């Protein structure tokens, strides 16, 4: 019987050792030993599935990957040191020189950097579609297109893409659909259910949830994960056992944290919507959000990120950040502490003005990652900074 999300996140753990521990131990070991020559040979020949060396696999990373696979409805997966290691290794394992990518224009800054700075070295070009023009995607597909890539909700604009529609287009053209599901987490949205072939997470964000460790994971179809695994065995981007141990325990509380953080985020978004110093508020579960209906269809709640625009441009933006008393000025997100970020001068500073405006990043835009403090205190801090 398949269990509910919360139960799987807590109870899907490694088998107890003879010590009968209740909490899974940390396996700080780089290698594993063999009973005899035959077992050693068979293990390296992969006739026998077992841990050999922690660059390939480790009990703690296995447990973390197994949980994410079950929570995302995926066949298999591999865990990485960071979210970007997951993004890069997934691309590098699957792409050949001369391939083409169709991507949403609004993607994480570092991912955009791979597309523009490094992939052209291997003659891999990327074409972009706008968030409000998913119907244009088909026109961008070429004979050498390998996959469609997108994030939903997007960073920092919290726009929402119709995953089912993207998957229909990908299937029609016999290409893959790869979704960076970081902003939603496996709790709020499962892209595989809507037809995605691979799902990528930066576990650094809401999966850890307390701003402690870095991590990444790619899950999806077995044969694709096999390619990603073989590439990663050689290139070495594996997640450390310690981080896997932390993240696996973080998953036990993901549902309760996400529930409260989404509730806080919706309350903050509703408060800001009527605020005289605010131009625009974007939150997937606000009725005014352009893709509200799609968000409702594919997400359990609206997520923990609220984007809004302070009236008065750059100067008003700076004054807002300088007036914040409690919330953290930081570039991270998904933390139990509420964080306010100025995308135009930080995470997305490398984008040109045209690119920024194309993805909705204005000078006065604030990205707020809503935390677990009492909502009244969060609202009070943001309200006084807007005055
Ligand atoms: C943070 C982030 C990444 C990169 O993750 P790291 O763990 O920082 O390497 C990738 N995609 C999205 C959407 C992110 O927010």
* Contact call for residues 323 and 385 (beta carbons, < 8 A): yes
**Ligand 1 centroid to residue 356 C-alpha, Å:** 18
Q: Which atom of ligand 1 is nearest to the CA of 85?
A: 9
Probe residue for ligand 1, chosen from 80, 178, 182, 348 as the CB with the greatest number of ligand atoms within 8 Å: 182
Q: Whose CA is nearest to atom 2 of ligand 1?
A: 202
DSSP string, 219-281: EE-HHHHHHHHHHHHHH--BPPHHHHHHHHHHHHTHHHHHHHHHHHHHHHHHHHHT-TTEEEE
| pLDDT for res 49 | 80
**Ligand 1 centroid to residue 108 C-alpha, Å:** 7
> Is the pTM of the predicted complex or chain greater than 0.85?
yes
**Ligand 1 centroid to residue 202 C-alpha, Å:** 5
**Ligand 1 centroid to residue 152 C-alpha, Å:** 13
Q: Whose CA is nearest to atom 1 of ligand 1?
A: 202
Question: Comparing 198-207, 303-312, 360-369, which segment has the lowest mean pLDDT?
Answer: 360-369
DSSP string, 40-105: HHHHHTTSS----BTTT--HHHHHHHHHHHHHHT-SEEEEESSHHHHHHHHHHHH--TT-EEEEES
Q: What is the mean pLDDT of residues 31-36?
A: 94
Q: What are the residues facing 218 on neighbouring strands?
A: 78, 200
Tens-place pLDDT, residues 269-306 = 999 999 999 999 999 999 999 999 999 999 999 999 99
* Contact call for residues 210 and 192 (beta carbons, < 8 A): no
């Amino acid at each position: 019987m398949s269990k509910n999300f919360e139960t799987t996140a807590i109870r899907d753990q490694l088998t107890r050792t003879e010590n009968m521990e209740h909490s899974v131990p940390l396996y700080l070991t780089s290698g594993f030993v063999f009973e005899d020559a035959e077992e050693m040979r068979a293990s390296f020949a992969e006739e026998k599935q077992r841990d050999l060396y922690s660059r390939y696999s480790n009990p703690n990373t296995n447990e973390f990957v197994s949980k994410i696979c079950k929570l995302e409805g995926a066949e298999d997966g591999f865990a990485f040191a960071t979210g970007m290691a997951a993004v890069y290794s997934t691309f590098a394992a699957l792409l050949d020189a001369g391939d083409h990518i169709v991507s949403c224009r609004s993607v994480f800054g570092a991912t955009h950097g791979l597309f523009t700075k490094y992939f052209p070295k291997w003659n891999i070009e990327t074409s972009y579609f706008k968030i409000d023009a998913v119907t244009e995607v088909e026109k961008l597909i070429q004979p050498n297109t390998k996959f469609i890539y997108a994030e939903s909700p997007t960073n920092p604009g919290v726009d929402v893409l119709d995953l089912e529609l993207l998957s229909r287009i990908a299937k029609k053209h016999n290409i893959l659909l790869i979704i960076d599901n970081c902003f939603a987490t496996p709790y709020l949205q499962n892209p595989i259910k809507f037809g995605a072939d691979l799902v990528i997470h930066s576990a650094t964000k809401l999966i850890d949830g307390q701003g402690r460790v870095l991590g990444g994971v790619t899950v999806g179809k077995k044969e694709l994960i096999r390619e990603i695994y073989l590439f990663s065995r050689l290139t070495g981007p594996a997640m450390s056992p310690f981080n896997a141990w932390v993240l696996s325990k973080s998953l036990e509380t993901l549902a309760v944290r996400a529930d409260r953080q989404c509730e806080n985020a919706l309350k903050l978004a509703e408060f800001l919507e009527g605020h005289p110093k605010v131009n625009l508020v974007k939150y997937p579960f606000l009725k005014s959000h352009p893709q509200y209906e799609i968000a409702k269809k594919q997400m359990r709640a609206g997520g923990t990120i609220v984007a809004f625009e302070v009236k008065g441009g750059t100067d008003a933006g700076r004054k807002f950040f300088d007036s914040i008393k409690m919330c953290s000025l930081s570039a991270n997100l998904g933390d139990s502490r509420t964080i306010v970020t100025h995308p135009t001068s930080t995470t997305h500073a490398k984008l040109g003005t045209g690119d920024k405006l194309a993805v909705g990043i204005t000078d006065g835009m604030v990205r707020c990652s809503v935390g677990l403090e009492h909502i009244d205190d969060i609202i009070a801090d943001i309200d006084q900074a807007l005055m």
